[in-house]
Chain A
């Protein structure tokens, strides 16, 4: 199959490509700075997506259509989604503390970056490469860009390609081994849970807050049919702060956080027979 190349001579870089380079290049650099300097990890990941799509466009401009597609599918699609997935598992809200642990760390980093960047950029920009040779001649000879790339990978670099396959298998196995968590405690079965619940003396579900009260806020206790307060419905943290529940606490220690009672540990009958528990609803509102 013979494909007539569009340009057989050296492909000159036109004005459109120059404009694309400067606009997209500045976007890519700004997004790369955003990856490094945004406080939240999720913003960094999204900035990374912008960088990767920008680089994919650059690959397309540089006559690498296959790499452009791979960049979008593999990097933006798979790798970045993996990053976001792990971010969600680790905790999205985890933002870095910006305290320096090593003194002068940032200053030294800036110095190193400048020492690296300034000579490199000044040196590189003094080189004039001239018009690029372009791939059109080779593409025409091989019958397309992707057949050319494929023949190079399958014939000349076949050892590296097979090593890549071994690497991928090893990576999959490694990820499986690392992500596997051994259960330290035996899993509680449904039978065991139901037996525990019957033995706890309170087989029915705990009453929700404010079941028979006028409000159903979390600090509103549920009222029993005789109008008394059901202590089982109270959040144990709130019950611990309630001065009425602090009989054994010394006077000067009251109104502070006392011992938190075990949730659901107290039978309901105890709560309804005492006079001091039969109190006004307004004392629970704070």
Chain B
């Protein structure tokens, strides 16, 4: 097996996550699909680190994880706030900035 298969798997998972972001309208599921895309990128980084014998890929994957954790905290707080005021977690309903 060629190590490029890991990259192909990462591409497939990334695409699935992108489809979820485009299709779903529940804000929490959209958020989970963003996490899916980030995880796919991490897999690619780790596989590249092994292919090239350097640790930099793992360092970058580590930073991606930290930033993703911070992003989840703030994003979920925003979703909670929108749900509290609009009684809905659908991303189609949040159109206060329109007009």
A17 to B47, CA, bound (A): 13
Query: If A83-B28, A174-B77 touch, does A135 touch B49 (CB 8 Å cutoff)?
Result: yes
- In angstroms, how far is the closest chain B Cβ from the Cβ of A191? 29
Tell me which of A36, A55, A120, A152 contacts B55 (CB under 8 A): A152
CA–CA, A83 and B80, complex, Å = 11
Contact bitstring B42-76, A, C-beta under 8 A = 1, else 0: 11001101111111101101110111111111101
Contact with A along B25-55 (1 / 0, CB 8 A): 1101101110110010011001101111111
The 10 residue pairs across chains A and B that have the minimum distance between CB atoms: A133-B53, A171-B70, A178-B77, A36-B20, A18-B1, A32-B16, A175-B77, A109-B22, A117-B15, A132-B51
> A35 to B33, Cβ gap below 8 A?
yes
A45 touches B (CB below 8 Å): yes
Chain A interfacial residues counted at CB < 8 A: 83
**By DSSP majority rule, is chain B's interface helix, strand, loop, or mixed?**
helix
Q: Which of A61-69, A194-202, A239-247 is the contact stretch?
A: A61-69
Q: Which residues of A contact B25 (CB under 8 A)?
A: 96-97, 101
**Those of A145-168 within 8 Å (CB) of chain B:** 148-149, 152-153, 157, 160, 164, 167-168
Question: Which of B9, B43, B47 is the one whose CB lies under 8 Å from A29?
Answer: B9
> A82 to nearest B CB, angstroms?
6
Q: Of A48, A64, A74, A178, which contacts B58 at CB under 8 A?
A: A64
| 12 A-B interface contacts by CB (under 8 A) | A13-B3, A21-B9, A35-B17, A41-B26, A58-B46, A62-B47, A64-B46, A67-B42, A94-B26, A117-B15, A124-B7, A181-B84
Let me know if A129 and B69 touch, CB within 8 A: no
Asked whether, in the complex, the Cβ of A121 is within 8 Å of the Cβ of B12, the reply is yes
Contact B65 A75 (CB under 8 A): yes
Q: Nearest Cβ in chain A — how far from B90, in angstroms?
A: 8
B59 CB → nearest A CB, Å? 5
In the bound complex, how far is the Cα of B59 from the Cα of A138, in angstroms? 14
Interface centre among A79, A82, A138, by most chain B C-beta atoms within 10 angstroms, is A79
B19 contacts the other chain (CB 8 A) = yes
A249 beta carbon closer than 8 Å to chain B? no
Do residues A113 and B18 form an inter-chain contact, with CB atoms below 8 A?
yes
Q: Is the CB of A86 within 8 A of B28?
A: yes
Interface residues of A in 93-110 (CB under 8 A from B): 94-97, 101, 105-106, 109-110
Interface of A: prevailing SS: helix
**Contact: B15 with A35, CB < 8 Å?**
no
Q: Which residues of chain A are within 8 angstroms of B20 by Cβ–Cβ distance?
A: 35-36
In the bound complex, what is the Cα–Cα distance between A109 and B13 (angstroms)?
15
Smallest Cβ-Cβ distance to B12: which chain A residue = A29
In the complex, are the beta carbons of B8 and A121 less than 8 A apart?
yes
Question: Other than the known A48-B35, A132-B53, A168-B66, what 4 A-B pairs have Cβ atoms closer than 8 Å?
Answer: A29-B9, A64-B46, A127-B2, A167-B67
A90 touches B28 (CB 8 A): yes
Known contacts being A62-B49, A112-B22, A152-B56, is A21 close to B6, with CB within 8 Å?
yes
